[in-house]
Amino acid sequence: MTTTLNIATWNVNSVRARLPLLLTWLKEAKPDVVLLQETKVEDLSFPASYVEELGYNLCVHGQKSYNGVAILSTSPLEDVTCGLVDFESVIDAQGDGAAAKCRYIEAFTAGVRVISVYAPNGQDLDHPRFLMKKAFYQALEARLVHLLQGPDEVIVGGDFNIAPFESDVYDASLWSNRILCSDEERAWFRRLLNRGFYDPLQASVTKDQTNPFTWWDYRTRGFEEDRGLRIDHVLLSPGVAQRVQGAHVDRHTRGWEKPSDHAPVMCVLVAA
């Protein structure tokens, strides 16, 4: 009988380019639920058969070359919702619809409602895409508040494109009030925590005093010199937070050949 429920999130930076690594990691880590981001593939072109052979069900929400989210689960996936309609309609009206799409998918599985999110990067604090990022977080918070009022426990994971604490940055002074680390962005993230969501990886970092980074820049030897950021997160609603056994980053995957620039985050829960 399974005694734990292992929930992971991973920005794979193209599921087709990273397919061999994804399959290797699935066999190695054996997660029960996986939240993927930046799949960068249309739904019909997602390499579904490969993950199905490993015992996973899946739901996908993608487009060609950009964005894209998916959920893999060893349990059935039910009540699937794709997209944040309020966010996408606003951005589409501004003429930037493709950039807004395929950033959100949710489903009920393994006794919880799980959500995979890929938040906009924002580019820079004075860039128009920063307003898109703000709109995304407003819509995300509204959706999560709605779900918290329902019967299901909620787990939301993904690439949030925010390093919420000083300890999440290799050089806090260098990144002070820059994109991903600005006071405004961190306030958006804290609003989710203030709604009752729990950040198990941040709690594990505080306890273990280890670098929590999940992303390292390809261009600057970021991984080799461990100059990273923690921008990938798993957040838990209050009821499921009581079941946490631990959380960690599978950072060794970043050292594999032709890796994603992100590493998976794993959260281990006591099975309900």
Q: Respond yes or no: is residue 137 known to be catalytic.
A: no
Q: Domain 4-270 carries which CATH code?
A: 3.60.10.10
159 given a catalytic annotation: yes
Q: Which of 32, 56, 104, 118 is catalytic?
A: 118
Active-site residue among 32, 56, 159, 199?
Answer: 159
CA distance 5 to 9: 13
Closest-CA residue to 232 (of 218, 246, 212, 252): 212
Res 220 pLDDT > 80? yes
> What are the tokens at 233?
């997160």
What is the Cα–Cα distance from 132 to 95, expressed in whole angstroms?
Answer: 12
User: Rounded to the nearest 5°, which phi and psi values hold at 77?
Assistant: -110, 125
**Contact status, residue 69 vs residue 41, Cβ threshold 8 Å:** no
pLDDT, one tens digit per residue, over 103-151 is: 999 999 999 999 999 999 999 999 989 999 999 999 999 999 999 999 9
Residues 126/112, Cβ–Cβ less than 8 Å: no
Residue 172: pLDDT band (50, 70, 90) is very high
pLDDT for the residue 55: 99
pLDDT attached to residue 262: 99
| pLDDT surpassing 60 at residue 242 | yes
Sheet holding 57-61, edge to edge: 57-61, 69-73, 33-37, 4-11, 265-270, 244-249
